[in-house]
Structure 1
Amino acid sequence: MSASARLAELGIELPDVVPPVASYVPAVQLGALVYTSGQLPLSGGALVHTGKVGEGAGLVSETDATAAARVAALNAVAAAASLAGGVDRIARVVKVVGFVASDPSFTGQPRVINGASNLLQEIFGDAGVHARSAVGVAVLPLDAPVEVELIVEVTTP
């Protein structure tokens, strides 16, 4: 099944490419690889959550951060697809790097970034299985709780 068919089956619409919030481009292609810039969990022009991830009052819950990682990953797929000539030209997800703005006591970064990884596997099947890093950081742009970047292999027309 094609990636576009899986998206339709999942009821997921590929969003428009999120405009950069600083001096960079959303993605760059080098040969058969597309590298995305870090994508935030923006939907409709706004972050779906803000703040640090952890347990306690005033923190983004692990559940909400995991959902935000899915949004960020979908934005990264949109950026990659825009250079590839469509989502069906993405042949394989090679690597995912996920950043989690974490409360100092939070150590569940891998579980949060599973939101991105699981989405990619839902969309691309076996071709969505990838190498990955999940890193806790002090703060992310715009006070986002997560940021996701991808390296994908694309087919040529």
Structure 2
Amino acid sequence: MTDNNNKKHSILLIDDEESIFEVIEGLLYREGYNLTYIDSGKEALNRIDEIQPDVILLDLMMPEMDGIETCKLIKSNEGWRHIPIIMVTALSSKEDLARSLNAGADDFVSKPINSIELRARVRSMLRIKLQYDALSATQRLRTLNLFNAFLT
């Protein structure tokens, strides 16, 4: 899926199991996304500015730093909080869903991953991200216009 500028959307998968990346890559292959795989939350935090993802798929259960902590850190950063996060997990209890949403996650997908559900949820999050980006661009333009009007 691409936007009006023909830019491929960037999806970042953070999961300690590389086999999950292969599954998701296969499920999203036809969509034409740029997929990046990182195997830890810490590494993802170090590279998120470089990758500039449009959507993050984040595993809940990871060693060292779990998905909840990673999600909280991403959402607490002013420059990243607008990036939609879909939690991906084998856990499916209401408590896990609540913990994920309370940490700032925008959506939730259970393993084993259903291809139709995954594609629909990613598209939904991309629509939200595109609306945010358009609103931000409009606000920047208004600010610039106000500034220019003030100078004249």
TM-score greater than 0.5 by the shorter chain: no
Using structure 2 for the length normalisation, give the TM-score.
0.31
Q: Which of the two has higher C-alpha Rg?
A: 2
* TM-score (normalizing by structure 1): 0.30
Higher normalized strand content (fraction of residues): 1
Higher relative contact order (CA 8 A, sep 6+): 1
